[in-house]
Structure 1
């Protein structure tokens, strides 16, 4: 039975660590010793004093992957592990510090990031040496940044614009989860399941590739800062990934990549069977699909597409709320909704919440589980929108408007120093309906618009290419069969579409988004199908290969 200790440590003084409460393992021993050395002895001539140090260690323990392609198992490397160490420091004083400033967004040397190293030796001596090196590098970086930031303030920031304080120490928290080795599982059974599932692809001659990869892994995270905040927890899971490539009947090449996380071995077989059958059905549909055409009208988003939709249009606009000072003008990563609190930013058909303490949802692990953030502050649930109005935003220890309180949402997106980020976004339908009822509403709206058909999208672009991989054309004429469509793009997706949500279904699903590769920092969205009043779709300009095509042997 896992023992969980969650306690608030009301410690705001520099260096006020609750050493007696730290877990007794080499990770915390190494971090604590190196932190004490850095605060006492690390000095850079001409630079201000270090007043804050933070370390984060992420340890991945991977059992051997199981990979099969069209019924053939491929040998994989033996079990491996990867330990990544991060270190960052703050110089000066809380009133004038070295963080919150990006010198040059186009120069990697001054990116807003911690010092880090991958492949750290898993020994006390190896950890101490790595943390020593990283802390020294972080101190040099902080010294240079402090000087540049102070110069920037003097020359480009008026007294009215300059914050009265750069960093506000917060009450510190701790979270300790007992960490056990990854539970054992039957390797032979797993290989048989993956082999059998991938073999089903042989029945579809149009498939050029059909691979399934199952990775058993455990992610362990350890964190300590010099104000007294710390945490440790583990996330065991099995990631199941399907990779498929085909050339449809018109000669267009298409690629599909899906991933599901499951919490335990007992769920793997059923998940493999269910999702493999569904994917092969989807691939058969896309092989016979027709090219899409220009469309302007109502659109129904599947749960997957709805999650993509919110990830593209809502999530980035409510994050990074404490805007960085930058040498090259406005902070390009600052959330666009920062100044819109209390305003209508989304339809009142849904309310949005951030759920940092949710570890799982319907048996699936969630990527945003964050009991304590990367500034040592206890996380709190956020009601982000209510009745369409923006009611709250993620906050950190850096000042935001008139707020001096963090709500525990400082996380490390990508290779960034902690910034204000969401964790697990939960979309609650105000008046949930069945997916079939939403489809009928879609058709009713199409008739009102005088349209022959409408679209159901099964994904939504989260990048600049705007491409939709799978869409279903549904006709208003009774009895006319639906038609699968490929080659559509969303024309100029923008936040206005958030206010076009008409209704939501009762079929929520989990969608994961990695803010950095290797699952180091992730977010999850739990979203149902969403009906949009209007969306413009256009055919892509991609052209097919010229025949003849060489068939798979």
Structure 2
């Protein structure tokens, strides 16, 4: 009976493989891309500077965007586009046209990142698609040759690079195919969602002090094709829905006070109920009303606690960008020579895992199975027991890290570079929130401070990774910050705080982490476009942070009351 069972399972797997193979063969766009890539590669081999590698990346993008403000629909659009980006590498893996562009994306002669738009009808539009591919390949090839000549010249007249790694690394040949999604999975009921969003944003009509009160839904279905001359063929789908609720007030001194929150799910049916989102919108207004009257603070140095979401943004901006391999080929190179050294407390673990679909009960925006270079995604243990072990790598190698680990990412017309996916921070020695507060108060007393800070919510941040003082710094924008007084007074909400500093100093001041992870979902903008990311971290205690006073707006609150409020 056991033998028979094994035979039956084997037969099922065989049938599944046959079904997938049949679906691939029936995918007209995939077959056209493979034919055109082979033909173009063969033809370009006749040129003086023949490519040694080519790939085609196609993005079939269906997007629904609906926005509502103060109870009224402001936008409701559904779009379907198909765009293609060829990559052509001239020279060889040691020196090619990307050698001196590791930290940017190839652009055309006018400096604009390009895509070629393809027809949406695979039956009737094949000829037009071939024409569009041909035209874009010719433009990219001409520019590739020019860039290669510049790279060769620069290599002869410039100081030798400190990093001796080649321009391009080898990667396994991958074959992966997902069938097209059924028609009912490609869109949402726009009328129903317009009604839902209007119900939520109508909450804001009752509050005359609000400058804005918006709710938006983005539903997106991406079907990505990737083929290269090495034989890799990857076709995968990505579907997600995201709701954003945002509101803002202006303080009497003109300071802008925004708050926002988001909800993410792979399937729209898994988004929260309207009752929950309405309650969250009302709470947002309550918090803004208190924040409007909060005192503005002066610059500060001293101990602080960062909440889980705040810590997630902090690690993404300040740590995550400095472990992206291509940034270590030039610029500040914060961590390049610290592999094997302690960079965080010994109980801290940091990893990036694009194969994670969910964590701490939340679905993750940085999930994918193959990156945008057709390399299989895998978990990268960046920090183990506080020690730096590895970087996030695309097919741009780095001394000591010759292979991609599936983190070559891009969006739109940019070419892939190493980027974050799902960044997870954990600690093996967690503390409760009450314990962290006690430790904060003790540290503030030790430093002679009247209070420490608690950063509850942040909205975003940016980091500079270049060479030189201010170019290797960060700035994180908090939305809600509290003073925690050492004498037992109630926590006090304050405003006008920017968290600033330099990364190595900040990391050396981390003391410990909390026992409850939080998930921060967003999109990260860098040289290869806006890519979906998630950062998860527990609350952390830092014995010294630095803040500066936020630049104040010169625009005072409006003289006239909001419409309908007078």
Distance 1:164 1:498 in 2: 28
* Residue in structure 1 matching 2:499, options 487, 490, 502: 490
**Who is 1:135 aligned against?**
137
Counterparts in 2 of 1:62 and 1:114: CA distance versus 1, 3 Å: closer
Say if 1:307 and 1:358 are closer, same or farther in 2 by CA, change over 3 A: same
Shift of 1:237: 1.8
Question: What secondary structure sits across from 2:174 in the alignment?
Answer: strand
- The more displaced of 435-444 and 307-316 is 435-444
Q: Shift of the alpha carbon at 1:456?
A: 1.1
Instruction: Give the TM-score taking structure 2 as reference length.
Output: 0.83
Q: Secondary structure at the match of 1:36?
A: helix
Matching residue of 1:230: 233
Would you say how many aligned residue pairs link Structure 1 and Structure 2?
528
Q: Distance in 1 between matches of 2:135 and 2:13?
A: 33
Q: Is the 8 A contact 2:415 2:528 kept in 1?
A: no
Q: For each residue in 1:299-347, what CA deviation from the matched residue of structure 2 results, as whole angstroms up to 9, or x when unmatched?
A: 11122211221122111211134766xxxxxx34x74312221122223
How far 1:507 sits from its partner (Å)?
3.1
Indicate the SS of the match to 1:447.
helix
The Cα of 1:381 is off from its aligned counterpart by 1.1
For residue 97 of structure 2, what is the aligned residue in structure 1? 98
Mapped partners of 1:437, 1:248: distance in 2: 34
Cα contact 1:497–1:534 (8 A) shared by 2: yes
For 2:31 and 2:403, the matched residues in 1 are separated by: 30
C-alpha change, 1:361 and 1:212, in structure 2 (3 Å) is same
SS of residue in 1 equivalent to 2:49:
coil
- State the alpha-carbon separation in 1 of the partners of residues 542 and 397 from structure 2: 36
Q: Is the 8 A contact 2:362 2:519 kept in 1?
A: no
1:443-487 CA-to-partner distances (Å, cap 9, x unmatched) read 232233232222111217523665433211222222x22221111
| Contact 2:450–2:485 (CA under 8 A) maintained in structure 1 | yes
Kindly provide the CA deviation profile for residues 361-397 of structure 1, in whole angstroms up to 9, marking residues without a partner as x: 3565433223223333222211100122111112333
SS in 2 for 1:432: coil
Contact 1:307 1:511 in 2 (8 A): no
1:283 Cα deviation after fit: 1.7
Aligned position for 2:27:
25
Corresponding residue number in structure 2 for 1:88: 87
> Does the CA-based 8 Å contact 2:174-2:233 persist in structure 1?
yes
Q: 1:475 aligns with which of 485, 510, 518?
A: 485
Partner of 1:312: 317
Is residue 93–residue 168 contact of structure 2 (8 Å, CA) maintained in 1? yes
User: How far 1:297 moved relative to its partner?
Assistant: 1.0
Change (3 A) 1:411 1:104: closer
Q: How does 1:64-79 map to 2 (within 5 A)?
A: 65-74=65-74, 76-77=76-77, 79=78
Shift in alpha-carbon separation, 1:182–1:508, aligned structure 2, 3 A:
farther
Task: Please report the TM-score for the alignment, with normalisation by the length of structure 1.
Answer: 0.85
**Paired position in structure 1 for 2:509:** 500
Which residue in the other structure is 1:190 paired with? 193
Q: Distance in 1 between matches of 2:539 and 2:327?
A: 32
Mapped to 2, the partners of 1:477 and 1:419 lie a distance apart of 50
Q: Which residue of 2 aligns with 1:178?
A: 179
Matches of 1:104 and 1:459, distance apart in 2 = 27
> What is the alpha-carbon distance in structure 2 between the residues aligned to residue 53 and residue 108 of structure 1?
16
Residues 23, 215 of structure 1: alpha-carbon distance in 2 compared, 3 angstrom cutoff: farther
Uncovered stretches (5+) of structure 2, i.e. residues with no partner: 1-11, 15-19, 463-473
Deviations along 1:416-442, one digit per CA (max 9) or x if unpaired, are 422223321111122223334323332
TM-fit CA distance, 1:221: 1.6
More off after superposition, 290-299 vs 252-261: 252-261
Supply the RMSD in Å over aligned alpha carbons.
Answer: 3.5
CA shift at 1:257, angstroms?
4.4
Structure 1 gaps, min length 5: 6-17, 325-330
Show the counterpart of 1:212.
Answer: 215
Mapping of residues 267-306 of structure 1, within 5 Å? 267-270=270-273, 272-273=277-278, 275-306=280-311
Deviation at 1:510, TM superposition (A): 2.7
Query: Hey, what does 1:13 align to over in structure 2?
Result: none
Contact 1:120 1:127 (C-alpha < 8 Å) held by counterparts: yes
Shift of 1:195: 1.8
Query: Which residue matches 1:511?
Result: 521
Aligned pairs (5 A) from 1:39-58: 39-42=41-44, 45=47, 47-58=48-59
Where 1:101 maps in the other structure, the secondary structure is: coil
Distance 2:46 2:279 in 1: 59
Distance 1:549 1:443 in 2: 43
